[in-house]
Chains A and B, each alone.
Chain A
Amino acid sequence: MDFAALQQQLCDRQTTCVELTERYLAKIEKGVHLNAFIFVMRDQALQRAAEVDRKIAKGVAGRLAGMVIGVKDNLALTNTLTTCGSRILHNFVAPYDATVLRKLAQEDAIFIGKTNLDEFAMGSSSETSIFGAVKNPIDPQRVAGGSSGGSAAAVAAGMCTAALGSDTGGSIRQPASFCGIVGLKPTYGRVSRYGLFAYASSFDQIGPLTRTVGDSAHILQVIAGCDPQDSTAVDTAVPDYQQALQRSIVGLKIGLPREYFTTGLDPQVETVLNKTVEKLRNGGAQVVEVSLPHSRYAVAAYYILATAEASSNLERYDGMRYGYRAGHVRSLEETYVKSRSQGFGDEVKRRIMLGTYVLSAGYYDAYYRRAQQVRTLVKGDFDAALEQVDCLLTPTAPTPAFCLHEKLDDPLSMYLSDIYTVSVNLAGLPALSVPAGTDSKGLPIGAQLIARPFDEETLFAVGQFVQNP
């Protein structure tokens, strides 16, 4: 049932927010082995649900009344822990709300808990959290994807209506693809980042994970827009996304980037994508081949730039003012070294070291500056392609969900699972992963749609068409 149907039921008094929340809480309990939530806000959620029910009765409820949301645990929410899945923030309670959460609360969304993730959103499998790995509801032997794996698993397992994630190199889209749901990474600047614990500031973007494209549109409608507390949130009008869902795809031009359909792509993923192409053609869209010649440099450039920013963003976790502080230290330097060595996990340390290295004197030009140049070229590729077509269609990930531990000790193969998603973050474009089919084992496979900056409308129109049977 999508959110529109749910709201109808609430409106018709067939159910209540409290009932709904209880149902989700029961699902969470039943699926506790999936480890989707770091903690559940049971009492707060029920209390809030009762409040919203009263508002519905009075006819003064907000646009998202009845929307029960899981929040990725790297978003600040007053009076709750925000851990980023890391020991270093094991006891951190933010004294303020992320802008997106404030906006959602204003429209009477109900927060049900904080979802699990890769530590500091650095990962593609949600296995590196100190709270343990998230498991895929479709096949608990497999990963849910990452880093917003907890959010994806929670939505897929019916533990909430929708969830928020953050996407730096594919962290919303890839888990959405692995769990068979819809994941939107909005245009960089479409949604305020205030309150998102930064991984890589020039890439991070908050977005919804939902069961349907329509629900995604509902949430974006509320969270999009400029914010006086985020200079990088852009002041452009927020269109009516529900209207975009009604748009026809007849005559739309859709591009297939040649470079995305070569080696490394799982044949079953390719098959599903081909079927999607057929469906779009049959629906009246024109599908053509385009080229993104600098794609092969994207992963390298991404891991240089994102880790450079991360190395700086994570400097504040020094054991001084909040979070984990190592005991038995004799000097300031030892406090830093031990707190950070013990507080961060291996993958986070790996990225901090990589980022520190590429910014170091003597290496900046060879790495950081060159990677910036690549970023410009990648962006240029997309600009050129999106001049010819209205949007691009690609696989979201090269494979369906892989097994737990399969790639944990092989960072490079883990990094390559983002190969189709990172370019989009380099270019700052909006992209949507929408379920397109399954493989022979029944594992979901997502298709990724990429549009021009601030043209989430096209993503919703095409996404809706792809998702509908």
Chain B
Amino acid sequence: MPYEPVIGLEVHIQLSTVSKIFCSCSTRFGAAPNTQVCPVCAGLPGVLPVLNRKVVEFAVRLGLATQCHINRKAVFARKNYFYPDLPKGYQISQFDLPFCQDGKIDIEVEGKVKAIRINRIHAEEDAGKSMHAETYVAAGETLVDLNRCGVPLLEVVSEPDIFSPQEAHAYLSCFRRLVRYLEICDGNMEEGSLRCDANISLRPVGTTALGVKTEIKNMNSFSHVEKALAYEISRQAELLERGERIVQETRLWNDGRGITESMRAKEFSHDYRYFPEPDLVPVEIDSQWIDRTRAEMPELPAAKRQRFIGDYSLSTADAEVLTEDRRLAEYFEAVVRESGDARTAATWVLGELLRALNERKHTIEQLRATPAHLAALLKLVAAGGINRAIARETFAIMLESGQMPDEIIRERGWSQINDSQVLEKAVDAVIAECPDETAAFRNGKEKVFGFLMGQVMRRTRGQANPQQLEQLLRQKLDDGNKRY
């Protein structure tokens, strides 16, 4: 019997606030263990949480971007369980009244747009980190790092609207692009700032009732998610084929073995005993706050892509790449504004610039060449001040030194040679030096023309105006022909 998978994703994002959700400790990643801890996030007796307003702002931002209903009154709740990396014995989360509910994210798979509904977005504090196998942890020992305690998280729960690992991948990449645009999370799955758990069940194709689901955890990259879901689909399908039942359980993705493994039932059979957090007052979010956040929202990726296609006559594919990263898109638009030439700007940003970023593993903010630099370079090319080859070299230097292109060209004496007398001299010299190739060309060997062009370019150290040079060289070679 053919089965179709039904998947819902729970995504946790670590918010890129400066301080933690209920105290003023830093959220910086990678500090020495237990150095970013105060009585509040260490859960000492007697301390009280105070909500970081930024967290509310970020939640509202994501809620608006996913067309959620923003609850005017949101309430924090305690989720109670014992674990050494949870110093209070409960996690402050949200239960009955989260910040946002009932939204959607549009994804695109194979050219088709599909809406994945969002059930809820709620805020909570992260727990600390239990370290079992680090260099300074003895065998059989577990140490706890509380730095991560109280780092703000948003949990985004989708409805079971996802029907394939590809759709799951599309959802995640759409989601990641969105949170990066909103600048609320860096979206780095490997560092754990974006984490994903999946609920998955199978049902016979054509039916609507949901089957028994399993929850998959420990997927640390997009490809883990795809692989784990694909594995789980085949595992469940095999069981169903054999007439066996699916056990509702939590399974962990083991990437090394390429399988999901059952987690012992004991570890997750929690009764969390949620109840409203009495140490925090309900958060009232008035419409003014929502309006202000809405007004400060950046243009979202889908809208930006459409606009780029319309405004700059870009292909869908080019627009897609340019809008993948908000900073890249903004860089591109700044170049366009200054240079006035969208086509050329797109060619350069998609070509030279992206190549340079990939090679250097830089982000766009790290570049020393600003949009003004690139625009100036494009203007120089357009005005005939330099040719493309020199322009590329200039660009490379610009990236390193942060110098303006005209300065680079002046320093190196690279400006284009447009003087026909100078060019003529060079052409004459090459014709004189290369009698064989000249004769070959004149005998109809058109291919040799490129070689001769190259020779002249070399003589002029690449600075010859290529159009002018080509015209001149042809003319000289043809003149010779006529003489015969």
Contact = CB atoms under 8 A, between A and B. Distances in A.
A298 B84 CA distance: 37
A207 B280 CA distance: 21
B278 interface: yes
Nearest to B83: A332
Residue of B42, B43, B144, B278 most packed against chain A (CB within 10 A): B278
Nearest to B39: A96
B46 A316 contact: no
B95 to A, nearest CB: 11
Nearest to A369: B275
Interface string A94-121: 1110100000000000000000000000
A53 interface: no
B89 A316 contact: yes
A308 interface: yes
A314 B281 CA distance: 21
A316 B278 contact: no
Interface residues of A, number: 45
Contact of A231 (B46, B273, B281): B281
A75 B273 CA distance: 28
Contacts of A92: 45
Contact of A320 (B49, B78, B84): B84
Contact of B84 (A82, A193, A332): A332
A197 B45 contact: yes
Interface stretch (A356-364, A402-410, A455-463): A356-364
Interface of A is mostly: loop
Given A197-B46, A315-B89, A368 B275 contact: yes
Interface string B29-55: 000000000010011111111110000
Nearest to B45: A197
Nearest to B79: A312
Interface string B83-98: 0100111100000000
Interface in A328-359: 332, 336, 356, 359
A318 B39 contact: no
A82 B275 contact: no
A198 interface: yes
Contacts of A320: 84, 87, 144
A232 interface: yes
Contacts, number: 101
A297 to B, nearest CB: 19
A324 interface: no
Contact of A316 (B49, B51, B88): B88
Contacts of A361: 271, 273
A253 B111 CA distance: 76
A89 to B, nearest CB: 7
B279 interface: yes
A14 to B, nearest CB: 39
A196 interface: yes
Contact of B80 (A76, A229, A312): A312
B82 A318 contact: yes
A94 B46 contact: yes
A201 B281 contact: no
A79 B43 CA distance: 18
Given A320-B87, A321-B87, A312 B45 contact: no
Contacts of B90: 312, 315
Contact of A315 (B44, B46, B80): B80
Contact of B273 (A74, A98, A197, A312): A312
Contacts of B49: 231
Contacts of B45: 76, 82, 84, 89, 92, 94, 197-198, 316-317
A29 interface: no
Given A82-B45, A315-B89, A231 B279 contact: yes
Interface string B245-283: 000000000000000000000000001011100111100
Interface residues of B, number: 28
Given A96-B39, A315-B80, A318-B82, A229 B88 contact: no
B278 A202 contact: yes
Interface in A298-323: 308-309, 311-312, 314-318, 320-322
A309 B44 CA distance: 16
B448 to A, nearest CB: 81
B23 to A, nearest CB: 9
A456 B36 CA distance: 41
A232 B275 contact: no
Contact of A195 (B43, B46, B89): B46
A2 interface: no
Nearest to B89: A315
Contact of A318 (B46, B48, B89, B279): B89
Contacts of B47: 96, 194-195, 229
A280 to B, nearest CB: 36
Nearest to B78: A312
A230 B39 CA distance: 14
B273 A360 contact: yes
B271 A360 contact: yes
B46 A356 contact: no
A230 B48 contact: yes
Contacts of A231: 48-51, 279-281
B87 A316 contact: yes
B39 A359 contact: no
Nearest to A201: B278
Interface string B140-179: 0000100000000000000000000000000000000000
A228 interface: yes
A227 B144 CA distance: 31
Interface string B160-201: 000000000000000000000000000000000000000000
Contacts of B39: 94-96
Interface string A202-241: 1000000000000000000000000011111000000000
Interface string A68-81: 00000011100000
Contact of A309 (B43, B46, B87, B278): B278
B73 to A, nearest CB: 15
A316 B279 CA distance: 15
Nearest to B142: A332
A75 to B, nearest CB: 8
Contacts of B87: 316, 320-321
A336 B86 CA distance: 13
Contacts of B279: 198, 201, 231-232
B66 to A, nearest CB: 28
A228 B44 contact: no
A1 B90 CA distance: 48
Contacts of A229: 47-48, 50
Interface in B385-413: none
A98 B46 CA distance: 8
Interface of B: 39, 42-51, 78, 80, 82, 84, 87-90, 144, 271, 273-275, 278-281
Given A96-B44, A196-B46, A316-B43, 13 more contacts: A98-B46, A193-B48, A194-B46, A195-B46, A200-B278, A231-B50, A231-B279, A232-B278, A309-B275, A312-B80, A315-B82, A316-B88, A321-B42
In the A-B complex, the 3 residue pairs with the smallest Cβ-Cβ separation, listed nearest first, are A315-B89, A359-B273, A201-B278
Interface of A: 74-76, 82, 84, 89, 92, 94-96, 98, 193-198, 200-202, 228-232, 308-309, 311-312, 314-318, 320-322, 332, 336, 356, 359-361, 364, 368
30 contacts: A82-B46, A89-B45, A92-B45, A95-B44, A96-B47, A194-B46, A198-B46, A198-B279, A200-B278, A201-B279, A228-B50, A229-B47, A230-B48, A230-B50, A231-B50, A232-B280, A308-B275, A309-B275, A311-B273, A315-B80, A315-B90, A316-B87, A318-B82, A320-B84, A332-B84, A336-B82, A356-B273, A359-B273, A360-B271, A361-B273
